[in-house]
A and B are shown apart, each in its own frame.
Chain A
Amino acid sequence: MIAPKRENTGSTATTLEPVNADLFKRLHGDRSDACLVKRAATGDESALGELYDRYGASCFRVAHRITQNSAIAEEVVQEAFLALWRGSGYTERLGTVRAWLIALVHHKAVDAVRKETAISRREATFHAMGSRNRLSSTDPEAEILGSLSDSEVRSALFDLSPQQREAIVLAYFGGYSQREIAELTNVPLGTVKTRMFAGMRRLQIRLRDSNTFEPEEAR
């Protein structure tokens, strides 16, 4: 995949000096997410810290929701931010830094839970959630949906068919594979794939024009 060409820095000198983080900061006052990512990749730890301030808490909540373990979730978040630090290949063409970072955390969290010891822990928690909620007649899916802070997202999920919603919630918040979802819900794998696709498509349309996200400060 070929990334867009970088801007011409206008260098005409035959003596070349490495670009350093201080010079970058002096020349560029831009504090956009993309700029922070670039600065972090060049070794600017203040930029890394600022990215954490913006997205660290959200990343942790995603990781914790999937892993159900604070220590593992923090490890996942640390790995994700270190990936940024090491020059992980983010470019603006890949979308927003927020989406890219949360996707990275989600990916690593799912990877963590698919390792042997985490699986049994996650299943026990998921079943425990069900048994706790049995008294109030709600199920884990309903608990997850009820806990979402974004009313627009909650509303968009409830606009889906129950089957589509179930597939997406189990995948995204539970970290289950399509095959596992097929087994849990007793439907063919192909049906799960179709439901997931249709559900994400509807969410995409529903949430497309309402991206009101504001970066939060973790401190």
Chain B
Amino acid sequence: MSERFDHAIEFELASGYVLDSLSAEDESWFETHLDDCLRCQAQVTMLREVAARLGQATQGAPPSPSLRDRIVSAAIADRADQLQTDASPWGGPFLDSKLPQNITSHTDTSKTKKRASSPIAHPHRRMLVGAAAVVIALSGVFGAIIGTQGGSHPSVPCSSSTCTTVVLTSPETHRRVATVTVDRLAVFLRPQGLRADNRRSQIYVLWDLLKGDSPRAIGGFDVQKGSFHEISVGDLRAPKQQIVGYAISLEHGRSIPKAPTHVIAIRHLN
């Protein structure tokens, strides 16, 4: 994050942000800033505690006694829906509660659209746009070589002797979840039953399984809504012959853990 800006501006925005009183443009800018600014993240966390005290102190009538049961019933029904859509070959619906870690995004779609077309109001944003243009230009050069994550490049057909494919299935439903293609050491994955993850708070991880050893992470990846494009995940760290299987886990947070915590797909090789 650039230090050339006076952080008083950001802290002022943090107060309005916590009180949900920013304009759509300010909120959009601040959320983008918040992703990379630890100081503001800490400030928002502290102010949120203050706001919670205000909320806690609010008096009023209680909710209806049936609300608890309705919430639990809705949650159970939601889980059933999720299991159903996980089996869909198209990857299932986008999570409507795709909440960033710092609770953003009013559900008003007009605001979402407004955010996308919002004018550049802050010098920091102009810098980001310029940097993004450079990245996009470079990715066009490298994308054809290494493949892209959920991008528009066609997959490399697996027809050579150095290329193998493996289908991973859900241990619960036994339905296809993804196809992994290994070309020499490069590993690609095509989602076929994975629902979109929350890109700010979750990450999928592909693991290779070695005989007599712990699973090892090949790499993390995200799945976009409705996407079935091939994703470049990473490289094998062991010879293909030593690998006895592959697994996919869905992890909380954006870091790859030392071991999988929530396995959603697996395949043991013969």
Are B62 and A1 closer than 8 Å at their CB atoms? no
The distance from the CB of B254 to the nearest CB of chain A, in whole angstroms, is: 5
Are B71 and A52 closer than 8 Å at their CB atoms? yes
A65-B15 in contact given A14-B213, A86-B97 (Cβ < 8 Å)? no
- Across-interface contacts of A4 in B (CB, < 8 A): 253, 255
Number of interface residues of A (CB under 8 A): 100
A14-B59 in contact given A56-B67, A95-B45 (Cβ < 8 Å)? no
- Across-interface contacts of A108 in B (CB, < 8 A): 107
A193-B12 in contact given A49-B72, A91-B253, A95-B45 (Cβ < 8 Å)? yes
Residue of B nearest to A212 (CB): B53
The distance from the CB of A178 to the nearest CB of chain B, in whole angstroms, is: 5
Question: Which of B185-193, B223-231, B259-267 is near enough to bind chain A?
Answer: B259-267
Number of interface residues of B (CB under 8 A): 90
Are B15 and A43 closer than 8 Å at their CB atoms? no
Are A178 and B22 closer than 8 Å at their CB atoms? yes
A196-B16 in contact given A45-B75, A49-B68 (Cβ < 8 Å)? yes
Determine which of B11, B35, B36, B54 lies in contact with A172 in the assembled complex, contact meaning CB atoms within 8 Å: B54
- Across-interface contacts of B79 in A (CB, < 8 A): 43, 85
- Across-interface contacts of B255 in A (CB, < 8 A): 2-6
A62-B55 in contact given A77-B67, A171-B21 (Cβ < 8 Å)? yes
- Across-interface contacts of B64 in A (CB, < 8 A): 70, 74
- Across-interface contacts of B60 in A (CB, < 8 A): 60-61, 64-65, 147
A168-B70 in contact given A87-B202, A114-B108 (Cβ < 8 Å)? no
Question: Which of A15-23, A125-133, A134-142 is near enough to bind chain B?
Answer: A15-23
- Across-interface contacts of A201 in B (CB, < 8 A): 15
Are B202 and A89 closer than 8 Å at their CB atoms? yes
Determine which of A18, A57, A79, A87 lies in contact with B172 in the assembled complex, contact meaning CB atoms within 8 Å: A18
